[in-house]
Amino acid sequence: MGRKLIMVVVVVFGVATMVLGATSAAADTCSNLMSSTALPALPNTTITSAAIVTGTFTPPNGKAIEGLPSFCRVTATLKPTQTSDIKIEVWLPSEGWNGKLAGIGNGGLAGVINYAGGADGANNSLASAVRKGYASVGTNTGHEGNDTSWLPDESKERDYGYRSIHGMTVAAKAIVKDFYGSAAKWAYFCGCSTGGGQAVGEAQRYPGDYDGIVAEGIQNYSTRVRVANIWMYQVATNNPASTVPIDKLKSVTAAVLKYCGGKDALADGFLSSDPRTCRFDPMQLLCKAAQETATCLTAPQVETVRAIYRGEINRHTKQLVWPGSLPGSEEPAGPGTVGWQTTGMNGPRPFFTSVLFYPFAVLEKPDIDFHTMDTESALALAENKFPFINHNAPDIDEFIRRGSKMIIDHGWADPQLSPINTIDYYGSVVEVEQRKHHLDQTSALAETQKSTRLFMVPGMGHCGGGPGPDTFDAIGTLDHWVDHNEAPDKIVATHLNGGVPAFSRPLCPFPQEAKYRGTGDRKDASSWVCINKPFTYDSSFYKVGSRGPAKVQKDAGAARAE
């Protein structure tokens, strides 16, 4: 499946071009959804429209989506609570339905249905799913665009955090059954970033919702990554001498590739092996006295790079708040969301989700000074007020035991969400299996991999982009796994230049990694083989051992509204 989840601020309802190509039978079946006797039984759900669309669909304030097959577009509003106003859309192919449902994730703070995806990869969207024959469903998660009024509202945050995704799934399954006369054979969910967090959240909280899940670049610890973006901004800008401009970040990446990857990494533009093993020290780039250039770092800049590699550490407890970025992610070449500057570290403000969440939702002080904000006390308050927006419970044993499948993938060069977090989360999932079923680590990993596999992508940025092999069919791989119960031993990924394949690599189930055979074309995936590597992760970050297997905690009030 394609990679990117780029946020586009639009409103939910669109304008459709109606074309006579749809069969009258499909049109009648579609319009009948408005008066169906079965759908009113859906709790807290109102169908607001149902009409055939063919050819072109134009979301308001958005670019027209062309080349669409005929489909029945259903809009609905979900109200699990009195204040809820969750908009969803279900797109149902008029012909050629593959018998499956695809749930589509969101990005950022959502507020928009993912109609077409990003310019670099539009596969994680309603449009791409319906083109492939899937019935598809998406949601705005209960609010519109850049509206900030919902942020301090606990109930609205619950809609955003988990109720909207579960609610749209329940509604979509019923609408699919009513429209086609039979239930979907399989239901899949795919999302990246926020959508990746939604994906693992479904496995944690509602393990029966989906038979297969693709969770990409997972943002499963929103309170922490959002505060870490503010911390990174403080590190790089509170002292102007500490700011590391883009040209110097490029020099850091070049030095990393040379030091840790040699001539092959310099030629490829990325590290092929696990960047966690790279021991590059930015002190190597320290400028000579009074001779600062674009290719060296001043002493304060060296400390900035070191801090970002290290990650945010609580000053009092000395515990890790959020893991650091990896060598090679500083400013690699390539399109998409790459380079540390995309986090807002150099200003003028931190990343937009942090700028909205902490001042408006947590502190309720819109004019907060990000230079002086106490990130540690703000985080404590956030995790007290809104713990449910995090999807950090590693106990997905019920999802595993019911035979559902999940592919997790993450770019090693992701500048916005640390790949280390995803590895630590996956390690904690394995550790729960190990403890629950009294297994050794090797057996627990094998048991987990029967259901859930992690694929790390060298040189890939946030949800795609970068110089690495960032184009691959995750949803097709998942579909084959679910349909045939054959776990993927690799996924072949490609890097495109101007839409033309430039090279390919196999992505290996972590902790395996791809190694060049020593003969053949380095640009051809067949010249690479997956080899075993030690399974290493920070077992303390998710605290499985000290607290026992972490499950999602549901309070009574929240459970009633679900």
Q: Which residues carry out catalysis? A: 193, 414, 462
d(CA 455, CA 202): 19
d(CA 356, CA 358): 6
A 10 A CB-CB count for 516 gives: 14
d(CA 281, CA 303): 10
Q: Which helix (H) or strand (E) holds 312?
A: strand 311-313
Quote the tokens at residue 62.
């958005």
* Coil, strand or helix at 12: coil
Q: Which positions ≥6 away from 21 have C-beta within 8 Å? A: 54, 55, 70
> Pairing relation of β-strands 320-323 and 135-139?
unpaired
Residue 280 DSSP code: -
A 10 A CB-CB count for 266 gives: 12
Alpha helices (H) along 391-490: 397-401, 419-436, 441-449, 474-484
Quote the tokens at residue 235.
């590190």
In 3D space, the residue among 202, 131, 196, 129 whose CA is nearest the CA of residue 164 turns out to be: 202
Quote the tokens at residue 21.
């190509």
How many H helices and E strands in the chain? 16, 16
For 2, 280, 301, the CA distances from 283, given in Å and listed in that order, are 38, 9, 9
Q: Which helix (H) or strand (E) holds 378?
A: helix 375-385
Please report the sign of the dihedral spanned by the C-alpha atoms of residue 417, residue 419, residue 424, residue 429: positive
For 15, 424, 547, 552, the CA distances from 541, given in Å and listed in that order, are 47, 7, 12, 17
* Coil, strand or helix at 504: strand
